[in-house]
Structure 1
């Protein structure tokens, strides 16, 4: 008996949560479905593609790219339409903004001539409603997503916060949304880092973050918060570990220097062993201005670290406030400094929140698997596919 075909489309395969999420989903679905993965070219894709089982077919769409270039985008749209029409899938599941736009339009065009139209599912992996662009560009993106929702049968949000904010902006109807957390690998690092490995003294309280160094990640406010702590508590032995690279690295290094805390801040650049480096931390911080879920703060909690997150989109959904971590207003260095001061000055509070965080990250959900793990994500996606292909409405979205 021929298995139904699922096509996953993502803009590009690069280090990060959305790409790993898609790779894990394809691998888990290969037993029940024929699976095809389509993405645009990217220099980092080869390593991720090694994780796919041979049963998953990969197609590189040469014109699919993140940047907006009308002629190439039209070529990508036509290329995707041809592939979808030829493959005749049961489901087209798109991921991220650009692939979500072109992939859904391509599927809708292919469906016009299909004997049996494909079900179109979209996982945004976050929204662009704030934190990324100015008012005009943000309005245009929202308008585009509202338009594209007319060609979407179902949406998958990573957190209740992402779902609520997207539906409130007119992107789909609440009944079209289902929450499925992005699966996180909670296996402990094989070789956890020690403070000494990073040139940090054993008695230095170490605060850290894992992030691409770009504006939406809010690392500037973490540096400013550490500067405020340095002024308030000059005798405090404190280090800030910034794990990740990106366009703002030089500016952030300069900012640390201007604020007089250059010697307190360590920039590691991009590290593939970021989870191992977290073992050297005492407190984890996610100061993002927009974040649909955040894999790194969950990995930190799984390692028994208390976390501080911005109160944006899905970040409050992945902690238990005042039990596993603290939440503060986004872009507010003063509020972040105050939250960090509470944790730094109270080892008992850090220990209590850290122990609760480890239990929270590992706790099972209705699938019987850890609520934020890959097994739960895959079980829920398989249940969603089975429901939509049988004509049964998916289970009510969690709020």
Structure 2
């Protein structure tokens, strides 16, 4: 950790500000870059710890830019095959730490905002296993034993009778694994509630504010922000800075090991007599679907084109959307007619392992990024850790 830090080249030609603007709008105790789940959770925890301190959140988009308002709304912590895959390349204690972090983060989110405000519904999580994955059932007892210290109950249960009950294709789904601890949220309600929460605690949020440069002098941190109204940036200052930019972090910290991963999602029109409720995973979590009322939200397919989906471009592709539609038709809704109403994409961040990056970059700058597609679960706990770190 360096005693001071300067990233990119500062622009010395700042916009001319009034006496009042300089006095009341540019200096804060804490500045947070990024208004996604982690950024707003960091702001919330800082406001709880320091109710009399000034806090500014800077967001380059009109809405949070990455995946916080674009995810499918899963309150989950890892399917059976996903955890088994993790155990293939991560030590047991690291996998347990990840699950614990996800679970505690979900509890923190629910406790802070309330289940009604985020529309949390605990209909359970399910995994659909194919012929190629059926051997995972041999490990279910061992995984339940591994997770027992956290949950005090068995997490995974075989529920093959649900294949017919939920209307899935029995020729393509060989088993269903049930997890009673998981649930779903309304992503938009959650983010609006989190935004309202921090604003009620006098946190300032500026959207359309792209950070170009920051510098830790040792005594404070200067943050240079693009001003869309002029060609001259605006300089803000703070005692402490948190960077919560996830997939977009390389624009500020190009040497950090963060790789973008796009997630494409679609939603159907309302389906008459939809047979299932809950959140569902297939193929080690690379495909995921859920009900939202009597609609189906279905996303994934990044594994079809890892290189092509390692992008920050907000777009869908014919290849992945066609695959999602085909799986809806062949596996999930084989006996029902459906129409696609809308499709979109969000941008996640990944690395060589699933551990988030959470550390101090300098005396007054800390970072919390690379959530591995688990922002809903990890965001609140990561924000809390960042807040405590910046309070030291």
TM-score by length of 2: 0.23
> Which structure dedicates a bigger proportion of its chain to helix?
1
Larger relative contact order (Cα-Cα within 8 Å, sequence gap ≥ 6) = 2
TM-score by length of 1: 0.23
